Amino acid sequence: MIKSLVKKILPNSVISRYHYFLAFAGALFYGFPSKKIKVIGVTGTNGKSTVVYLLAQMLKNAGYKVALSSSIEFWMGDKIWPNTFKMTMPGKAFLQKFLKQALISGCDYVIVEVTSEGILQNRHAFIDFDSVVLTNISPEHIERHGGYENYKRTKGKLFEALGSSTKNNKNIIINIADKEANYFLSLVGDDPTKRPSGVVFRRSDQVATTGIFSGIQEVVSANERVNKEGYAIGRYEQIFERVRSCSGKA
């Protein structure tokens, strides 16, 4: 009740700065762990959890040790426990602590499900991403943002974070058939020496947008196959191959 009252009294700019400070304090306290481990952020309106789990399982099957943070549960190698926070991206430096634990546990990759609400509260701040995946974007969950354009701009902050990440061999993976694809591609910076490479993907029956910058590979796949569990796996194999191809220092 008090928390809700504070949110109503304080302007959003003050609340945003508060969360930004918490993110910085957490990163500082835990020694900026994301600089020392590969981090993949997955965002979008729909399909985030599916892509997070598919990527995690593919990496695990390939012999990598994986940590995962999602709306449903957390992984730390073979240890799995439910997300009881009632939020996809828990606050109060939880993600920085989680990244530190993944580093100590010897994980090769951390996959983070990233929501617009989490971005709005700067919970992605001070995380150095290696790769960012956008599944799609549509005018859902926009009430909190006051409209679709604000929602889109909030999602875009994750791509700005990728552009400013200090990592080498950064990757961006986007559904190029999405009408907003070029907007998100434009946010990762103009300097070609610092801009991430990556993949834009679409099905053969989808029309691509234009203006893909150099260093981005377009993948046109056949209509998605469905495996025995019912997952559409065609395009996710391309995402996995690009993410796995990240090399060099984390």
Edge-first strand listing for the sheet containing 73-76? 79-82, 73-76, 66-69, 109-113, 38-43, 131-134, 171-175, 197-203, 216-221
List the domains of the chain with CATH numbers.
Answer: 2-244 (3.40.1190.10)
Residue given tokens 């909190």 in the structure block: 144
Q: How far is CA 6 from CA 1, 3, 10, 91, in A?
A: 9, 5, 6, 17
Token pair in block for residue 56? 């995690």
Q: Phi/psi of residue 221, each to 5°?
A: -110, 160
Of 199, 162, 136, nearest to 41 (Cα)? 162
Q: Decide: helix, strand or coil at residue 161.
A: helix
pLDDT greater than 90 at residue 136: no
pLDDT of residue 193: 60
pLDDT of residue 86: 87
pLDDT greater than 90 at residue 15: no
Residue given tokens 């549960």 in the structure block: 73
Strands (E) located in 53-193: 66-69, 73-76, 79-82, 109-113, 131-134, 171-175
Residue 244's pLDDT band (cuts 50, 70, 90)? low
Token pair in block for residue 54? 């598919």
pLDDT greater than 70 at residue 199: no
Token pair in block for residue 50? 């599916």
Residue 143's pLDDT band (cuts 50, 70, 90)? confident
Q: How far is CA 45 from CA 56, 141, 215, in A?
A: 19, 8, 26
For residues 127 and 35, give the distance between their C-alpha atoms in angstroms, rounded to a whole number.
8
- Highest mean pLDDT, choosing among 40-49, 100-109, 171-180: 100-109
Chain center to CA of 140? 18
Q: Is the pTM of this model over 0.75?
A: yes
pLDDT of residue 230: 43
**Mean pLDDT, rounded, for 49-53:** 90
Q: Decide: helix, strand or coil at residue 111.
A: strand
